Amino acid sequence: MDKVSVMSCDSSMNEYAIVLAERLNVKLLKGNVEPKDGDIYIVLGGQYQSANLINLQKKVKVGYIIYNSAIEFRDKYYLTLLKSNPVFNSEQRVTDHLKKEHGVNTLSHFFYDFMKVEPASRPNDIVIISKSKMELSSKLQNKYPDKIINHVLWGDLKSPQELKEKFMNAKYFINVDDGSFNTYAINNALSCGCRVVSHSNTDKETKDFYETFVTITESIEDFDFENDNEDFPPYEELIKQLTKLITPHNHAVLERIIKS
């Protein structure tokens, strides 16, 4: 694994990159990249630097393992990157879409892991984060007039730390359907000790697994936030179970790629 490094191509992936590099016991790239023939990069957030990654691979004989975090695939450069390098995914729904619509095979899966934090207080009751404005926040505010409900658009978040603070300041995170189950946001929220109430639009295996750790409901609007007494295992147990479920195959495929 001496020639393997974790590369984060966007600030949203920096925390996960640190945790992943430690877990794999490989180098974490910092600052300018000085590639050498034979180097292998586990690429996080590659959709943000797709053209540069392709150009680098044309100049130097480096290998990429793409840990895909995108759910939309309109960028021709990123699709080229996915079609010419090994791809890992975090959600079966995206795996199926890539195969059906773009002919991209997924070799294995991965999961998001974050540094656990324990805030001293949570001034907000509920945080909703979505791509666009929606009526859910106003409906919940009418239903619970005494609760502090914070609705934020993903595009308005200026940094990963701001996202982290939203989770740390809220008792509940509502995971709305923006095209994926968004395990990035779910795991991040859980690492902050935030309760998660999520939509149910995902594959059966993912739903069955996450039901142990979050509330999955057909109707978020009908969930009773006032009388919720459900207890879930801690974040450490989530990561323990994900490690047991995903890591053996993930590592076996990584080793096979590195040796080839």
pLDDT tens digits, 213-245: 999 999 999 999 999 999 999 999 999 999 999
% pLDDT > 70, the chain: 100
Q: Are 190 and 166 in contact (CB under 8 A)?
A: no
CATH number of 4-110: 3.40.50
CATH number of 124-240: 3.40.50
Would you put residue 100 in left (φ > 0), alpha (ψ -120 to 50) or beta? Answer: alpha
151 half-sphere exposure, CB direction, 13 A CA radius:
13
- Give me the residue label for tokens 């890539």: 98
Distance CA 190, CA 173 (A): 9
H helical segments located in 49-135: 50-59, 76-83, 92-102
Say what the pLDDT of residue 173 is.
98
Where the chain has pLDDT below 70, the residues are none
Say what the pLDDT of residue 12 is.
96
- pLDDT digits over 19-46, tens only? 999 999 999 998 788 899 999 999 999 9
* Total Cβ atoms within 10 A of residue 48: 18
Say what the pLDDT of residue 165 is.
96
Distance CA 251, CA 111 (A): 12
Encoding tokens for residue 31? 């600052």
Phi, psi of 102 (to 5 degrees): -130, 0
Domain segments of the chain as ranges: 4-110, 124-240
